[in-house]
Amino acid sequence: MSILSILMGGSRNEPSSAPRDDCPLCTSEGGQLIWRGAFWRVVSIDDPHIPGYVRLILNRHCAEFTELATPEQQQFFKLMIAIETLMRDTLAPEKINIASLGNHTPHQHWHFIPRWSDDAFFPDSIWSAAHREMSQQVRATRDAQATLLFAELPKVCAKAIY
Per-position pLDDT tens, the chain of length 162:
344 444 444 444 455 577 888 888 887 788 999 999 999 999 999 999 999 999 999 999 999 999 999 999 999 999 999 999 999 999 999 999 999 997 788 898 999 999 999 999 999 999 999 999 999 999 999 999 999 999 999 999 999 998
Taking alpha carbons only, the member of 147, 139, 136, 128 closest to residue 49 is: 139
140-151 CB burial, b ≥16 within 10 A, e <16: eebeebbeebbe
Q: What is the pLDDT of residues 60-72, one digit of tens each?
A: 999 999 999 999 9
* Domains in the chain, CATH or no CATH each: 23-160 (3.30.428.10)
Q: Name the pTM for this structure.
A: 0.86
- Bridge partners (DSSP) of residue 44 are 32, 54
- Bridge partners (DSSP) of residue 55 are 43, 111
Query: How far apart (Å, rounded) are the C-alpha atoms in residues 63 and 7?
Result: 19
Contact 39, 72 (CB under 8 A): yes
How far is the CA of 12 from the CAs of 19, 56, 67, 71, in angstroms?
21, 25, 9, 14
Q: What is the pLDDT of residues 77-95, one digit of tens each?
A: 999 999 999 999 999 999 9
Contact 76, 160 (CB under 8 A): no
